[in-house]
Structure 1
Amino acid sequence: MLKPDLRKQALAKRSALTAQELAMLNESLLKQFKTLDLSNIKSIHIFLPIVHQKEPDTFLIIDWLQENHPGIEIVVPKADFGSSLMSHYSFKDKQDLVNNHYHIPEPQKAKPFTGIPDLVIVPLLAFDVKGFRVGYGKGFYDRFLENINTQKIGLSFFDATPEIIDVHLNDIRLDKCITPTGIIDFG
C-alpha cells in the first residue's frame, strides 16, 4: 500500500478504538516492552503521545522505567515545525510538559540532551514486514535518525502491513517493532 492510504487506514482504525480497547492495547505494549534487554542501555529517547490521536501511551513505559530502571536517562523530543527538526531533553516529570499547537506534550525547562541515545522508541501509524514505517509525513524521526547509530524500536497497536510501496531513499528502517502480541525483529 501507499503511505497516504496506510496513514488514512491507521488513523481510522485508531479512531475506532474504544477507551477499554485502547487501555488493553497500551497494557499489552507495556508488557512486551518489559521483555526487552535493557542491561546495556543508559539512555532511551521516547516520543510523548498525542492523546487525541490515540497514540500508544508512552507515559506507561516512562513510569515503568523510572520505577524499575532509575539509572536509565529518559530523553524526550521537542519539535521545531519551521525547520522540521527536533531538539532533545532529559525528562524528569510531567509537570514540565506543555502541549504545543499540535497537542504534542513538550518539555519547557528540562536540561538539553546532547548525546546519542542508546535506544529510540519511534512513533508510527503503520509499518511493514521489512521494518519501514509510516508516520504523519513530516520526516522528523527520519532526519533525527539518519546520522546516528542507535537501536530503533517502533510501537504499534496493529500488525505489519505486507509492504509500503512508496518507501523513500531517506526512510529509516526500524530494528524492531513492539506490538501487543510480540516483538518483531527486522535484523
Structure 2
Amino acid sequence: MNKAEVRKQALLQRKGLSPEEASVFNSKLLAQFKNLDFDAIKTLHIFLPIAEKKEPDTFLLIDWLSLAHPEIKIIVPRADFDTFLMSNYVYEGKKRLEKNSYNILEPQKTNLHEGAVDMVIIPLLGFDLKGYRVGYGKGFYDRFLNGIFTVKVGLNFFAPVDVINDVHENDIALDLCITPDKIYFF
C-alpha cells in the first residue's frame, strides 16, 4: 500500500470506532506501555492527542508516568506550521495547555526543553512491518527525529500493513510500535 491508501484506511478505521471501543483500546495501549523499560529514560517526549481525530489518549500514559516514574521529565511539542518544525516544552499539566488554530493542544508559558530526549512517543495513522509510519503528511516528526539518538515509539490502535511502498529516504523508522494486542519491535 502507498501512504495515501494507508492514511485513508486508518482514518476510516478510527472514524468507525465507538467511544467504548476507543476506551478499551486506550486501556490496552496503556497496559502494553507499562511493559517498556524506562530505567535509562530521563526525558520523554510525548504527543498530545487530538480527540476529534480519535487519536490514542496519551494523557493516560502521561498520568501513569507521572506516578510510576516521577523522575522522568515529560516534554510535549509545540508546532510551527510556517516552518514545519517543533519545539519541546516541559509538561506542567493540562491547565497549561491551549488549542492552537489546528485544534491541537499545545503548552503555553512553560519551560523550553533543549537537551537530550531519550524516548519519543510518536503519533501515526498507520505503520508497516519494517517500522515505517504514516502520519498526517507534514513531516514534523521526521524533521524532529533527524540527527538525534532516541528510542522511537509509535502508538496505534490497529495492526500494521505489510509494506508501505512509497517510503521516502527522509522517512525515519520506529524502533517499536505499541498496539492494543502487541508490541512490534523493528
Q: Do Structure 1 and Structure 2 share a fold, with TM-score over 0.5?
A: yes
Q: CA deviation at 1:71?
A: 0.5
Q: Deviations over 1:6-40 (max 9, x none)?
A: 10110010000000000000000000000001011
Amino acid at match of 2:4: P
Give the alignment of 1:28-177 within 5 angstroms.
28-177=28-177
Q: CA deviation at 1:136?
A: 0.1
Q: CA deviation at 1:147?
A: 1.0
Matched, 1:3 2:3: yes
CA distance in 1, matches of 2:17, 2:157: 10
Q: CA deviation at 1:182?
A: 1.5
Match of residue 24 from structure 1:
24
Amino acid at match of 1:133: R
CA distance in 2, matches of 1:138, 1:116: 23
Q: CA deviation at 1:158?
A: 0.3
Partner SS for 2:78: strand
Report the TM-score when normalising by structure 2: 0.99
Match of residue 181 from structure 2:
181
Q: CA deviation at 1:150?
A: 0.5
Partner SS for 1:169: coil
Amino acid at match of 1:28: K
CA distance in 2, matches of 1:62, 1:110: 17
Unaligned runs of 5+ in 1: none
CA distance in 2, matches of 1:154, 1:116: 19
CA distance in 2, matches of 1:116, 1:84: 20
Q: Deviations over 1:129-179 (max 9, x none)?
A: 000000000000000001101100000000010000100000000000000
CA distance in 2, matches of 1:117, 1:93: 19
Amino acid at match of 1:82: D
CA distance in 1, matches of 2:75, 2:147: 18
CA distance in 2, matches of 1:57, 1:103: 15
Partner SS for 2:9: helix
Partner SS for 1:52: helix
Cα RMSD (Å) = 0.5
Amino acid at match of 2:168: H
Q: Deviations over 1:98-123 (max 9, x none)?
A: 01111110001110000121000010
Partner SS for 1:78: strand
Q: Deviations over 1:46-75 (max 9, x none)?
A: 000000000000000000001111000001
